[in-house]
Structure 1
Amino acid sequence: MSHQSSPEPVSILLVEDNPGDVRLIEEAFKTAGFETVFHTVADGTAALEFLREQVLSADGADVDLMLLDLNLPRTSGFEVLEAIKDETAFTSLPIIVLTSSEATEDIVRSYELCANAYLTKPSDPAEFAELGRAVEAFWIDEATLPPVPS
């Protein structure tokens, strides 16, 4: 899925309950050099509802990538990963866990639940731009991803 030569924006489902982090992440991707469309939800329940509506709707928004926090209200990031792992319509969606946790058990559990990558949120707001560029370099420019199911 190289978007370098494509005018289509990259569609990202951002699952994040902290408005400050939402702003930093969105700004980081604006400076990363590719056009993005964010679908932002503040908890895991809303993320799963969004994905189900997208799959069930013929005109639903295609999602190229999910950025998922683990510490969410209502339905945690781990519960979202479990639901996605069990729902075949979602299993090809690349998921990057983007969280403040550096706990080894959180990292291991995320990968066991089929997360594609685990990134720790930078503590310095200026480092978010580098994070956006790193995600672009690998996930947008280099990785070949499966087609979005229709």
Structure 2
Amino acid sequence: MSTTRTEPLRILVVDDDDADAFMIEEVLAGAALPVTVDRTRDGREALDFLRRSGGHSGAPRPDLILLDLNMPRMDGRQTLAEVKSDPELRAIPVIVLTTSGAPPDVLASYRHHANAYVTKPIDLVEFEAVVSRISRFFGETVRLPPPPA
């Protein structure tokens, strides 16, 4: 079963690692479905982007957030808690995409209502496959919530 999208899937990548963010963007750019990627480098900037403040007044609302955990200023754990406690943002699916496979990180993420937890593969081919599957699932399979009125 496939959903029909009229607009590109808009993904916000929240990751301080330039190499990882670049790989994610490259995989998404090569996806069969249209994807638009925005990026922030830490949780504070992500919240400014999502709330359209701090120089992000015209920021578009993402359909999906790919969130790293280990970042400066505000890490992904704090960011996830803020997003999921904000009535205007909580419906946006958040996929934790991080190098940590530590059980406490997984548990904390789900306790803060992450929609999924994915450990970044070290192998480049596997990394690309994981990002591709995420974009296909959210771009072709699931029905995403509409933006608030």
Same fold (TM over 0.5): yes
1:76-97 Cα offsets, whole Å, 9 max, x none, are 1010011112211011000000
Instruction: Structure 1: give runs of 5+ residues left out of the alignment.
Output: none
Contact kept, 8 Å, 1:16 with 1:43, in 2: the verdict is: yes
The residue aligned with 2:132 is: 133
Equivalence map 1:107-118=2 (5 Å): 107-118=106-117
- Report the more deviating stretch, 13-22 or 60-69: 60-69
Name the structure 2 match of 1:91.
Answer: 90
Q: In the alignment, which residue of structure 2 is the partner of 1:73?
A: 72
For 2:82 and 2:90, the matched residues in 1 are separated by: 10
TM-score normalised by L of structure 1: 0.89
Q: Secondary structure at the match of 1:67?
A: strand
Structure 2 residues not aligned, in runs of 5+: none
With normalisation by structure 2, the TM-score equals 0.90
Deviates more, 1:9-18 or 1:137-146: 137-146
Number of residue pairs matched by the alignment: 147
> Deviation digits for residues 35-91 of structure 1, max 9, x if unmatched?
21111010100000000118xx99641210000000010001010011112211011
**Matched AA of 1:135:** I
Aligned partner of 1:131: which letter?
V
Query: Which residue of structure 2 lines up, in the alignment, with residue 16 of structure 1?
Result: 15
Q: Residues 66 and 96 of structure 2 are in contact (CA less than 8 Å); yes or no, is this contact kept in structure 1?
A: yes
User: What's the % identity of the aligned pairs?
Assistant: 37
Q: CA RMSD in A?
A: 2.1
Task: Flag as ranges the 4+ runs of structure 1 deviating above 3 A.
Answer: 2-7, 57-60
CA distance in 2, matches of 1:121, 1:10: 21
